[in-house]
Structure 1
Amino acid sequence: MTPARNFRPRPDAADDAATTRLALAARDGEPAKVELFVRALHRDVWRYVAYVSADRQAADDLTQEVFLRALAALPRFAGRSSARAWLLSIARRTVVDSLRHAAARPRLSDLDDWQTAAERSQPQGLPGFDEGVALAELLASIPAERREAFVLTQLLGLSYLEAAKAADCPVGTVRSRVARARSALVSLLRDVETAAPVGHRTGTVPALA
């Protein structure tokens, strides 16, 4: 299943409480309960791995791996943190493991596959351009740690404290990374606007508010 790529409001405390209850209920492994838990958080996990890994092509496989790991660990989930923060910490480890595995493989070519190259060459601001792709391309150009902090807090709506737990770093570090990511993205957006034809200078990427 390919998740919708529209941007949604950040989850509130009630939403987090609801998904945490689903996780706690699914600890017994009953298929219907597990399905509800997976459905509730699938989109957030997919977006996280897609943006943080900077590899939307591999996002489906990474998301599946995240949930396989999560379901194996679910009986030990005690609800001391929100299910979303807990699951995203598993997603982070999954992405790190995937990147390490990829780095260990011999590189056969310096060229990207044709599909990735085609996506990167697609002009922004044209009808049908996917704003999720536009944002992913911008995020891919900033350092991974800043990208992760931005995705956790600005796209997935975790608090700075929750993001710090998921990223295994101090809260102050998350705040600094988010600020630097925002600054870099604003600069990149200005460059895009400057380079785009006048007729196409429309908001293809969500505002960084």
Structure 2
Amino acid sequence: MTVSVLPAPRVDRASANASATAWALAARGGDPVAAEHFVRALHGDVLRYVARLSGDPQTAHDLTQDTFARAFDSLHRYEGRASARTWLFSIARRTVADSFRRAAARPRIADTPDWQAAVERAQPCGLPGFDDGLALLALLEALPEERREAFVLTQIVGLSYEETAGFVDCPVGTVRSRVARARAALERLLLETDAPADLAA
């Protein structure tokens, strides 16, 4: 099944976000109809987001289901300070990161006598190591929510500034500013934590 990973058309995003947030808060109070509306309102966005973030559209549905399961488990702690969409995206990011951790820890059976060489050949070239990736995720958690979202969407997920602006419903210039400030903050945090220099690249 092919999953579209392009941003959803821009249709009064602010109003849609407000409605989704209201439904999330009502669902927190035990309203099953509100819970259904909450899922319907944000399911498509989360599906596209995790497909882009994971790079694997085939697992996007499972990751989306896991994201909503986690969201409902922690819904009692949601107070609406951030939009439900932003809150849900932060859960989706952790869900994808956890799937990467599980995949990295899972033993694999190789039908080759030299399995070590096979594993080495299968490693992607020119990318930061898994530990560096986890360190980056930890640093991203220290950023303000809006800057973190802009940075992840443009620098990690790979959306253009224009696509991101439509996705988060703000001007392109605002997205550029948030990304620049996020990058500056990450560089400062890297220096403070003595992270590897190549992670900054």
Same fold, TM-score > 0.5, yes or no: yes
Structure 2's unaligned 5+ residue stretches are 111-117, 120-151, 185-201
Give the structure 2 partner of residue 172 of structure 1.
Answer: 181
Equivalent pairs: percent with the same residue?
Answer: 45
Q: Could you tell me how far apart the structure 1 residues matched to 2:183 and 2:40 are? A: 28
Q: Decide whether aligned partners of structure 1 residues 174 and 2 sit closer, same or farther in structure 2, where only a CA change above 3 A counts.
A: farther
Query: Compared with structure 1, are the counterparts of its residues 104 and 25 closer, same or farther at alpha carbon in structure 2 (3 Å cutoff)?
Result: same
In structure 1, how many angstroms separate the alpha carbons of the residues matched to 2:33 and 2:47?
Answer: 21
Partner of 1:104: 105
What is the aligned partner in structure 2 of residue 133 from structure 1? none
1:28 aligned partner, one-letter code: G
Corresponding residue SS for 1:150: coil
Matched, 1:15 2:26: no
Q: CA 1:54 to 1:24, structure 2 compared with 1: closer, same or farther past 3 Å?
A: same
Distance, in Å, in 2 between the alignment partners of 1:16 and 1:35 is: 15
TM-score using structure 1 length? 0.55
Task: Kindly indicate whether residue 168 of structure 2 is the aligned counterpart of residue 157 of structure 1.
Answer: yes
TM-score, length of structure 2 as denominator length: 0.57
- Shift in Å at residue 153 of structure 1? 2.5
The structure 1 residue matched to 2:155, chosen from 126, 132, 146, is: 146
CA RMSD of the aligned region, Å?
A: 3.8
Deviations 1:140-171 (A, max 9, x none): xxx998233638825632659xx9xxxxx976
**Paired residue type of 2:35:** V
Q: Report the CA distance between 1:60 and its aligned residue.
A: 0.6
User: Residues 94 and 5 from structure 1, CA distance in 2 versus in 1: closer, same or farther, beyond 3 angstroms?
Assistant: closer
**Aligned residue pairs: how many?**
140
Structure 1 residues 23 and 95: alpha-carbon distance in aligned structure 2, compared to 1, 3 A threshold: same
Displacement of 1:12 after TM fit? 2.6
User: 1:68 corresponds to which residue?
Assistant: 69
Query: Is the CA contact (8 Å cut-off) linking 2:53 and 2:156 kept in structure 1?
Result: yes
Classify 1:66/1:11 alpha carbon distance in 2 versus 1 (closer, same or farther; 3 Å): farther
Residues 30-39 or 50-59, more deviating: 30-39
Which structure exhibits the higher relative contact order, with contacts defined as CA atoms closer than 8 Å and separated by 6 or more residues? 1
> Matches of 1:68 and 1:154 in 2, distance apart?
28
Change (3 A) 1:149 1:172: farther
